Chains A and B, each alone.
Chain A
Amino acid sequence: MITIERLTKRYDDDVVVDDVSLEIAEGAIVAVVGASGSGKTTLLRMINRMVEPTSGRVLIAGEDTRATAPHLLRRSIGYAIQGHGLFPHRTIAENVATTPKLLGWDKARIEARVDELLSLFGLEPAIYGPRRPHQLSGGQQQRVGVARALAAFPRVLLMDEPFGALDPIVRAKAQADLRAIQRKLGVTVVLVTHDMDEATSLADRIAIMERGRLVQEATPVEVLTHPATQFAADMFGADERPFRLLSLKSVADLTQPGEAGGEPIAADADRREALAALLWSGRAAAPVTGAGGERLGIVTLARLVEAAAAKAR
């Protein structure tokens, strides 16, 4: 869907992005991670030509992005950034309507689209549409920022630390919403983040940038268990790695027949939660229940510990 070919950005003698090639599948969420200054934001901004590459090219659905004038290209690509960047002089509805209006949609179509998106993000259109950005909470502003980016049915959504300014609880909710909405709309998402939890929990694939170079591009599990460089390994933190690995999957496929007492664990709970529950209650096993509360079997401490080991796979 997005093909990045040997993309390089140089400022004078400073190579910010160095010969990066990357293939992003249709409908995937790719997280670009790296330390600050690793070139991840520049790489993202070259996709919609907010930054012009020094060399290399970007293809979206096979079409070279240089074939279209930058501002026209950007109308077909969603763009959401940290601090949302909502226009303070326009209402929420007008903000969401920005790109459809630029594309010359008729009024009724714009209105319908704005209402649809606001509802999708849990903001009652009649109440929030006429308000101005400063009348909304930080979490609501951020949701409007993403809604605006999605307004004109973009093929691609670029996000630069979109949840960076939110507190942890609001952020978790926003991430869950994004995942659900992305599944529903099927839009391809490129997400720049320095939050490794965000990357592992949201993304289908993680691209790791190090001093301008792309050092690894793989699934979260692969990146965790087989980091390509020392830097990639360090990014996840040695003391955190096993737990992150556990958090990527649910307990469902670790469930085995048997009997155990105490508080049951839901089958769709992630393995990290299950481990925490067993450790906290001092049990060696716990019953697992399905969505309807029916008993599926048990999960044992031993299976969980085994699953936390990188070598196991």
Chain B
Amino acid sequence: MKAAAWTLRLLTLALLAVYLIRPETFAAALAPLAPAGAPAVYTQSSVLELAAIHVAIAAVATVLATAAALALAVFATRPAGSAFLPLFRSVANAGQTFPPVAVLAIAVPSVGFGEAPTLIALTLYGVLPVFENALSGIEGVSPAVLDAARGAGLSPRQELLEVELPLALPAILSGVRLSAVIALSTATIGSTVAARTLGEVVIAGLATNNLAYIVQGAAAIAALTVLISDALGALERWAARRAGRG
């Protein structure tokens, strides 16, 4: 079972690498899907470059979102910020009802077309999963452990850094994974506002009725997402073991 999963992972990675470096390798396989006379492989721009931008936007957005979400979650769980907790919760709840496309479209007029609105939309959207997970992680630390930490003489700051955050880490990482997956898939939609991501390949396929483009774009994004989510999942399990739960 474990060997099979590793084979699958490595195979996905290999196919993705080959496609990104030499997309024309798949020309013959994709040809039946392309309309007569149309190219089977997307060559208008380098897919490697598109993939790099795609991952970079998602990564920056996830990092920014994680930083913001952690700050909010830590603030809301300190005595000084506890009054804000219910409000943050309802804002986070309401925030989820905003479709990513709408956030994207609304960002365009203020920052123009391209990668910037995509980055903004992805960041805003990525805050919610990390915030909710960080909150439940921090609140999930057993009261006995916190009591013991205070009793042992940890200062509030040490309590946060040495007990609460390490114990909440698995939950936080699970939020980061969720956030990264959402970012990777929403970055695709970014192509509708001219962000240069792998979504460009799919949009080109939709515009020219070329199924081959749609398939290669979809497969590349799906492979990228599965691999990254898988890696973050492994990180999450490692953290859970370290937090003494495995």
Chain A contact residues, CB within 8 Å of chain B:
48, 50, 71-77, 79, 81-90, 98-99, 102, 132-134, 145, 148-149, 158
A128 to chain B, nearest CB (A): 15
Give the A-B pair count, Cβ closer than 8 A.
77
Known interface pairs A85-B142, A134-B244, A134-B245; 8 further A-B residue pairs with C-beta atoms within 8 A, sorted by A's residue number: A50-B150, A71-B156, A72-B153, A73-B153, A84-B148, A88-B167, A88-B243, A133-B244
Bound complex: CA A75 to CA B155 (Å): 10
Of A76, A87, A132, A134, most buried by chain B (CB within 10 Å of CB) is: A87
Bound complex: CA of A81 vs CA of B151, how far in Å?
9
CA A75 to CA B158, docked complex, whole Å: 13
Answer whether residue B71 sits at the interface, using C-beta atoms and an 8 A cutoff: no
Contact A89 B148 (CB under 8 A): no
- Is the pair B244, A132 in contact by a Cβ cutoff of 8 Å? yes
* Contacts A/B (CB < 8 Å), 9 sampled: A71-B154, A74-B153, A76-B153, A84-B148, A85-B149, A87-B167, A88-B167, A89-B166, A145-B148
| Inter-chain contact B158/A82, CB cutoff 8 Å | no
Q: How far is the CB of A105 from chain B (nearest CB, A)?
A: 13
Evaluate contact between A102 and B167: CB separation under 8 angstroms.
no
Q: Most chain-B CB neighbours within 10 Å: which of A73, A77, A81, A149?
A: A81
Pick from A50, A73, A90, A99: contact of B147, CB below 8 A.
A50
Known: A85-B144, A88-B145, A132-B244. A98 touches B152 (CB 8 A): yes
Contact A102 B158, beta carbon cutoff 8 Å: yes
**In the complex the two chains form, is A74's CB within 8 Å of B151's CB?**
yes
Residue ID in chain A nearest B170 by CB atoms: A89
A85 touches B153 (CB 8 A): no
Interface residues in B, total, Cβ within 8 A: 22
Chain B residues with CB under 8 Å of A102's CB are 152-154, 158
Docked-complex contact A89 and B144, CB < 8 angstroms: no
Q: Is B51 an interface residue (CB 8 A)?
A: no
Which one of B144, B153, B154, B166 contacts A81 once the chains associate, using CB atoms below 8 Å? B144
B101 within 8 A of A: no
For residue B242, CB closer than 8 A to chain A, the reply is yes
- On whether the beta carbons of A81 and B152 are closer than 8 Å, the reply is no
Q: Does B163 contact A (CB under 8 A)?
A: yes
A86 near B148 with CB under 8 A, answer yes
A132: chain B residues at CB < 8 Å are 244
> If A102-B158, A134-B244, A134-B245 touch, does A89 touch B167 (CB 8 Å cutoff)?
yes
| B244 and chain A: residue at smallest CB distance | A88
The answer to whether A89 touches B244 (Cβ under 8 A) is yes
B53 to chain A, nearest CB (A): 37
Contact (Cβ within 8 A) A48 B244? no
Chain A residue numbers with a CB within 8 Å of B145 are: 85-88
Given A71-B153, A72-B153, A148-B152, CB of A87 within 8 Å of CB of B163: yes
CA distance A98 to B162 in the complex (A): 11
Partner of B151, one of A79, A89, A90, A133: A79
Which among B152, B155, B156, B243 is the interface contact of A89 at CB below 8 angstroms? B243
Whole-angstrom distance between the alpha carbons of A87 and B166 in the complex?
10
Chain A minimum-CB-distance residue to B145: A85
Contacts of A71 in B (CB 8 A): 150, 153-156, 158
Residues on A with beta carbons closer than 8 Å to the beta carbon of B156: 71
Residues of chain B within 8 A (CB-CB) of A89 are 166-167, 242-244
Decide if A99 touches B152 in the complex (CB within 8 Å): yes
* Contact of B148 (CB < 8 Å), options: A73, A77, A79, A134: A79
Question: Which 5 pairs, one residue from A and one from B, show the smallest C-beta to C-beta distance?
Answer: A85-B148, A79-B151, A88-B244, A75-B153, A85-B144
Of chain B, the residue at the smallest CB distance from A135 is B244
A228 vs B156: C-alpha distance in the bound complex, in angstroms?
Answer: 42
